[in-house]
Structure 1
Amino acid sequence: MSNPLGELVKALEKLSFKPSDVRIYSLLLERGGMRVSEIARELDLSARFVRDRLKVLLKRGFVRREIVEKGWVGYIYSAEKPEKVLKEFKSSILGEIERIEKMFTD
C-alpha cells in the first residue's frame, strides 16, 4: 500500500508552478498574443526553455495558441482568462484528491 503523505507530495509537485510559468502567464495576460521568441526576449529566457514551459501551460489549459501565416508560419500564444485558469486549477486539485482518496479506500 502507498504512503498517503508520499502521494500528497507527488500530487503537490504535479500541480505546482515554476516561477517562470507565472512570469510567462503574466506577460501573456498583460500583452496578449506573442511568439516564443518575443516572450523569451522580454523575460530574458532561452527560446527552448520558453517553448518547454508553454507546452506545460498548454497542457494544463492556462494558455492557448493559434497558428499564424504572415509570410512565415508559426504560433502566437495567449493567456486564457484568469477565471478559466482558476477553474482548470481547481479541477486538477480535486482530481488529485479524488485519486489519492480512491487509493486508500479501495
Structure 2
Amino acid sequence: MEVIRLDKDYVQYTLFMKALADETRVKIFDMLSKGELCACNILEDFDITQPTLSYHMKILSESGLVNSRRDGVWMKYSINKDGLDLLKNLFDDISESIRK
C-alpha cells in the first residue's frame, strides 16, 4: 500500500480546480497563456458584461492561478507561474504514479 504524501497542499489544489471548473475561466486562462491581457481585451472575446468578467477574474486571481495589476483605469492579468507550476506538479506526480 502506497503512503499518501502529506506535504501536498490539497486545499490549494481544490482552489485551482474550482477556478478552472468553468468554461469561461478555462478560456480566459488559455488566453492568458499567450501573455498579459487587459480586461478590455479579454472582454472582447466574450458576450458577458464587465461585472461578470470581474467576477470570473476575481475567482482566478484568488485561486492563485492569475496575477492582476492596475494600469490606470484598467486591470491587467497574467498567469501566475508559481500557481501554474504547483498545479502542473500535481498532475506530473499523478502521471508518474500511474506509470509505475
Which TM-score tier does this pair reach, normalised by the shorter chain? 0.5 to 0.7
Residue in structure 2 matching 1:64, options 58, 63, 67: 67
Judging by fraction of residues, say which structure has more helix: 1
Distance 1:86 1:20, change over 3 A: farther
Point out where structure 2 has 5 or more consecutive residues left out of the alignment. Answer: 1-13, 91-100
Q: Which amino acid aligns with 2:22?
A: K
Higher radius of gyration, 1 or 2: 1
**TM, length-normalised to structure 2:** 0.59
Q: Which amino acid aligns with 1:22?
A: V
Counterpart check, 1:26 vs 2:30: yes
How far apart in 2 are the matches of 1:61 and 1:88? 10
**TM, length-normalised to structure 1:** 0.56
Residue number in structure 2 paired with 1:4? none
- Residue pair 2:68, 2:77 contacting (<8 A) in 1 also: yes
Residue number in structure 2 paired with 1:93? none
Residue number in structure 2 paired with 1:85? 84
Q: Deviations over 1:28-57 (max 9, x none)?
A: 112x22222221112333222111010000
- Residue pair 2:40, 2:74 contacting (<8 A) in 1 also: no
RMSD, aligned α-carbons: 2.6
Counterpart check, 1:43 vs 2:42: no
How far apart in 2 are the matches of 1:60 and 1:67? 18
Sequence identity of aligned pairs in percent? 19
How far apart in 2 are the matches of 1:86 and 1:33? 17
- Residue pair 1:35, 1:77 contacting (<8 A) in 2 also: yes
How far apart in 1 are the matches of 2:26 and 2:85? 13
TM-superposed deviation, 1:78:
1.0
How far apart in 2 are the matches of 1:57 and 1:80? 10
Point out where structure 1 has 5 or more consecutive residues left out of the alignment. Answer: 1-11, 91-106
